[in-house]
A and B are shown apart, each in its own frame.
Chain A
Amino acid sequence: MKSRSMRWSAYGILGVLVFSLVRAITGSSDLTSVGTFNAALLLAIPIALAGLGGLFSERAGVVNIGLEGMMVMGTWAAGFWGYQRGPWMGIVMAVIFGTIAAAVHAVATISFGVDHVVSGVAINLIAPGIVRYLSVIVYQDSNIPGAGPTQSPSVQSIGSNGLPFLSGGHVLGWQSPDLLGSIGAKGWFFISDISRILRGLTGDVSYVTMLCLLLFPLSWYLLWRTKFGLRLRSAGEAPVAAESLGVNVYRVKYIGVLISGALAGLAGGFLAIVASSNYQEGQTGGRGFIGLAAMLFGNWRPGGLLMGSALFGFSDALQLRASDAVHSALLVIAIGFAVYAVAQWRQGRRVGGAVTLALGLGVFALFTYVKELPGPFVTMTPYVTTLVVLSLATQRLRMPAKDGVPYRKGGDS
């Protein structure tokens, strides 16, 4: 256990070192700026929440591609109630709306045995229609400033805070010093870089973000350390066996899907209230699907999906803030490939190592010969990096054995 955490810290330090190096060589300060990492956090959370939602559902054996639709419901509810009753109420209602959408999915798939994908697609198709309809009813003819059929009036923002003393957090109204921030401004190689990264992740963080981040260790604990978790996972692995041991498989599956919807709703609420300041149509932008992909490549585990989401969030932030930084990131990727190739080679995976090395050289060539990346390529980076890195990093994906298989009680084995 101890050696494992030590190894991970070593990887982390190595990673930061590479970033600092590349930043120093290329001069693109955005690679390790406070702003990039702060934005990365904001961009990663909705995806990670959606992925976590997918995790709960699929661990219970129900495929949930309706996450996107459930998120849509969440964004709308957050806008409507957030504007009327304040941002916290908006978040709560987003969770409830997501749960309601999930209830539909649960009834269809668990009680009526509808194909999971069919039901999920239906939810994704219907949800945008419903929220549009609701918007037209409540906003169309109102004279509220900013309200319209495609968006809600703006919602107050939820407060934020940072670590006291380290990242300038405030304690009982007193503004503490910002140690990391001032070190970060010094321009010391590596030390300042790492300070800026930490400052970006721990300063000016919304209270909702903190809450969301807490959900990950909590979910892991719930799923892998408690009775409820064991039963939920058994519903996805061997429902017949579980039933024969007195587990109420239907109930467990229902709970899994409902939690899934609640988390997707929360992701929607986060998008509307924390990442922006009102509900806008199409705000989810496919994040439900990206979350699902992160969960898949994260091997149906909270840690894995969090890492996938973080990667996506980071490359997305970079892409949004500065395209020259994306170009510099190519160098980081090239180095990453080279390191990984060596690791593979040493494990005796010669062919894999050679392929990875070739990829790395390709990226390096791209870095040296193409000075400015075309716009669409830049927009694409988060998707491509996440895909490539995750598919290389995951050695063996193991989905729940009975994921997506309709379960009938009393069905004979």
Chain B
Amino acid sequence: MNELAVELRHIVKKFPGVVANKDVSLKARRGEVHALVGENGAGKSTVMKVLYGMQRPDAGEILVDGQQVRFRTPAEAIAAGIGMVHQHFMLADNFTVLENVILGSEPTKHGRIDTAAARARILEMAAAYGLDIDPDAMVENLGVGERQRVEILKVLYRGAKILIFDEPTAVLVPQEVDELFAALQGLRAEGLSVIFISHKLDEVLRVADNVTVLRHGQTVAEVAADSVTAQDLAELMVGAELPTAPPRSTVPHERVVLSLQGITVGGQGTRDLLHDVSFEIRAGEVVGIAGVEGNGQHELIDAIIGLAPCQGTIVYNGTDISRFSVARRRDSGMGLIPEDRQREALLMGSALWENRMLGHQRSAPVARHGVLQLKAVKADAAVIMREYDVRAPGPETPAHALSGGNQQKFIVGREMSRQPSLLLASHPTRGVDVGAQAAIWEELRKARDAGMAILLISADLEELMAMSDVIKVMLRGRISGTFDPQRTTLEQLGVAMTVASA
């Protein structure tokens, strides 16, 4: 059982201006869940892409089952039994789940795709690993959690023996994480190897057998999971202590910033995506929304920002804005951190300073009298990068060259820079490392104390508990419960998220 499935020896990978991997070594055994941790930009995704044949290393060796290999394409890595679930989903939106899963290894019968066989096989795997999915659904209609299940099915479908998961839990709520981990245990029991990247250190300790720690592109330690604490790991990663949240010392103001009255968003079927949602957010207050992905959170944000047509009344700073355009809502001081950074918040091919302008193109310092102030924008982008510790060569760097966590930090910085009076934050710390997470929380707290209202949607219940003044649980498009984080346990929240309170 303990033979090495994969070994990476002294991998080096350079990009123009950055050394992503200086010297990475890693050993994963058969029947092991091996975690890979490190700060944002430490080089975790890069080294996994090297293993998966998507990037070619500048130096170093890769051994699979003791044999030295050299993958030029993912196809070769797949053939060698390696599969990868990417940090940022790689799915064709306009395809069905089934098409996405079988693409590249399609079962055929007399020259045509054997859809029936593929569907049967997908359903069988889905049942075996508890990955609930409709094979014929269009991917564009799926929520993040479901998309991830598609990604996992893609890998399993190819019969991979070595599975790489790049931050699979960032998008999942606790129940889903439990399901995923159960699936991972199943894979491990069958002698497969799992390499697992995560910033959530308790999870890492819970699921992994061994942990490799990267810092600035170098392997700094390999430790057995049962011999360390989360605190130790954090110190190995960043050389800092795990942050602890101080209890709130200020109180929210009386002034209501946002008031929702009976907001309903219709769906295609009979059930509304969002049904009769009403609540208020006061200045300096954080309202947290808990819920399993796809229970109306996305629609709630879209309705408030004006992207989804809805019934009901939205009053913002005393004005009824129900009929306002998105532009008018943003210009009146709404900030937005969308749930999917690459699809909704960034132009991946454009420089950071260009991304700085998105959503702010009409107001200072980006524009004056309708003319873009490019110099000021670049300077401002540099300020954001400094304040939010975005690790990249400079404002000219294209967004796709940033690690996922650094992209996220930049978006948070951009939205905070205008000092919005209301921040709609979907998973604001998704994919950022523990250190940066603490920093972002600190910024949000400061802004909150200065009077900013925050609608916080998060899959991370601890984040919700630490930040929110009140937590609302969403279930099937309705608010199914309201909780005081001081007097609620994680378990109670978890139950409310899945079972309708009678």
Contact = CB atoms under 8 A, between A and B. Distances in A.
A60 to B, nearest CB: 13
A234 B105 CA distance: 13
A67 B104 CA distance: 30
B360 interface: no
Contact of A245 (B88, B111, B154): B154
Contacts of A137: none
27 contacts: A221-B112, A225-B113, A226-B111, A226-B112, A227-B113, A230-B102, A230-B103, A231-B104, A234-B95, A234-B99, A238-B91, A238-B92, A244-B84, A244-B86, A245-B74, A245-B154, A246-B75, A246-B78, A246-B105, A248-B75, A398-B94, A410-B54, A413-B86, A413-B88, A413-B90, A413-B342, A413-B400
A3 B88 CA distance: 41
Interface string A208-252: 000000000000010001110011011001101111111110000
B462 interface: no
B113 A226 contact: yes
B74 A410 contact: no
Q: Top 8 closest A-B pairs, CB basis?
A: A246-B75, A245-B104, A241-B90, A238-B92, A237-B92, A227-B106, A246-B104, A225-B112
B401 interface: yes
A401 B342 CA distance: 15
Given A230-B103, A241-B90, A410-B55, 13 more contacts: A225-B112, A226-B111, A227-B106, A227-B108, A231-B103, A240-B90, A242-B92, A243-B73, A244-B52, A244-B84, A246-B78, A246-B79, A401-B94
A56 to B, nearest CB: 17
Given A238-B90, A245-B154, A413 B104 contact: no
A134 to B, nearest CB: 39
A268 interface: no
B94, B106, B158, B342: most-surrounded residue (chain A CB, <10 A): B94
A304 B74 CA distance: 36
B84, B88, B90: most-surrounded residue (chain A CB, <10 A): B90
A400 interface: yes
B72 to A, nearest CB: 10
A234 B400 contact: no
B308 interface: no
A116 to B, nearest CB: 16
Contacts of B400: 411-413
B348 interface: yes
Contacts of B86: 244, 413
A244 B90 CA distance: 8
B190 interface: no
Given A238-B91, A242-B104, A245-B78, A413 B348 contact: yes
B261 to A, nearest CB: 25
Contacts, number: 84
A95 B202 CA distance: 64
Contact of B103 (A234, A401, A410): A234
B94 A244 contact: no
A175 B5 CA distance: 74
A403 to B, nearest CB: 11
B93 interface: yes
A238 B93 contact: yes
Given A398-B94, A401-B93, A412-B400, A242 B111 contact: no
A242 B90 CA distance: 8
Interface in B55-106: 55, 73-75, 78-79, 84, 86, 88, 90-95, 99-100, 102-106
Contacts of B84: 244
Interface residues of B, number: 34
Interface in A374-413: 398, 400-401, 410-413
B268 to A, nearest CB: 13
A237 B74 contact: no
Interface of B: 52, 54-55, 73-75, 78-79, 84, 86, 88, 90-95, 99-100, 102-106, 108, 111-113, 154, 158, 342, 348, 400-401
Contacts of B74: 243-246
A221, A226, A227, A398: most-surrounded residue (chain B CB, <10 A): A227
Given A238-B91, A398-B94, A412-B401, A226 B73 contact: no
A294 to B, nearest CB: 21
A340 to B, nearest CB: 23
Nearest to A399: B94
Contacts of B348: 413
Contacts of B154: 245
A230, A237, A244, A413: most-surrounded residue (chain B CB, <10 A): A244
Contacts of A244: 52, 54, 74, 84, 86, 90
B22 to A, nearest CB: 19
Nearest to B77: A246
Nearest to B400: A412
Contacts of A241: 90-92, 100, 103
Contact of A237 (B54, B55, B95, B104): B95
B296 to A, nearest CB: 24
A255 to B, nearest CB: 16
Contacts of B104: 231, 242, 245-247
A182 to B, nearest CB: 42
Nearest to A405: B349
Contacts of A413: 86, 88, 90, 342, 348, 400
Contacts of B52: 244
B390 to A, nearest CB: 17
A401 B95 CA distance: 11
A237 B113 contact: no
Contact of B73 (A231, A246, A411): A246
Interface string A13-33: 000000000000000000000
B78 A230 contact: no
Contacts of B88: 413
A121 B432 CA distance: 46
Contacts of B95: 233-234, 237-238
A241 B154 CA distance: 11
Contacts of B111: 226
Contacts of A233: 92, 95
Contacts of B112: 221, 225-226
Contacts of B90: 238, 240-241, 244, 413
A325 to B, nearest CB: 41
A239 to B, nearest CB: 9
Nearest to B76: A246
A245 B348 CA distance: 21
Contact of A400 (B79, B94, B103): B94
Contacts of B54: 244, 410
Given A225-B112, A246-B73, A230 B91 contact: no
A58 B342 CA distance: 24
Contacts of A237: 92-95
Nearest to A235: B92
Nearest to B155: A245
Nearest to B91: A241
A234 B342 contact: no
A242 B103 CA distance: 7
B43 to A, nearest CB: 13
A241 B105 CA distance: 13
Nearest to B95: A237
B229 to A, nearest CB: 35
A248 B78 CA distance: 13
